[in-house]
């Protein structure tokens, strides 16, 4: 894959700003790697099972934050939703919110 441009929703920007300094640094490094390499591998990210083109950046520091992203048109990666993970499974409400934002941005595609 080639270099990508990163788009973040305002919600993701606000969430990232409220994270701890160490989590902010880890997120910045993950975004930088995603922009330069065009992809992230586990443990930095994971594919969301059951959803085409939906992934989660994993920030494991003093919290357990996740940022959902997908590959949009051409060279753009869209980071669309973030939350603090408190359980082993992705909460349905958090996943639904990410999928809804993705649908709005892609004109209805899952």
Asked whether the predicted pLDDT for residue 110 surpasses 70, the reply is: no
Res. 62 pLDDT band, cuts 50 70 90: confident
Q: Which domains does the chain have, with CATH numbers?
A: 5-106 (3.30.2310.20)
Query: Could you read off the pLDDT of 5-18 as tens digits, one per residue?
Result: 999 999 999 999 99
Locate 107 and state its tokens.
């004109």
- What is the percent of the chain where pLDDT is above 70? 97
Query: Could you read off the pLDDT of 79-109 as tens digits, one per residue?
Result: 999 999 998 899 999 999 999 999 999 887 6
Kindly provide the residue ranges of all beta strands, DSSP E only, lying in the chain, ordered along the sequence. 5-8, 45-47, 55-60, 64-71, 76-84
Question: pLDDT at position 107, please?
Answer: 85
């Amino acid at each position: 894959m080639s270099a990508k441009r990163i788009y973040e929703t305002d919600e993701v920007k606000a969430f990232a700003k409220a994270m701890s300094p160490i989590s902010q640094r880890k997120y910045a490094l993950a975004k930088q790697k995603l922009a330069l390499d065009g992809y992230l591998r586990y443990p930095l990210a994971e594919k969301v099972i059951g959803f085409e083109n939906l992934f989660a950046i994993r920030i494991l520091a003093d919290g357990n934050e996740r940022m959902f992203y997908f590959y949009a048109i051409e060279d753009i990666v869209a980071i669309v939703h973030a939350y603090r993970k408190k359980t082993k499974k992705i909460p349905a409400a958090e996943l639904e919110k990410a999928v809804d934002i993705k649908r709005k941005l892609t004109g209805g595609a899952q």
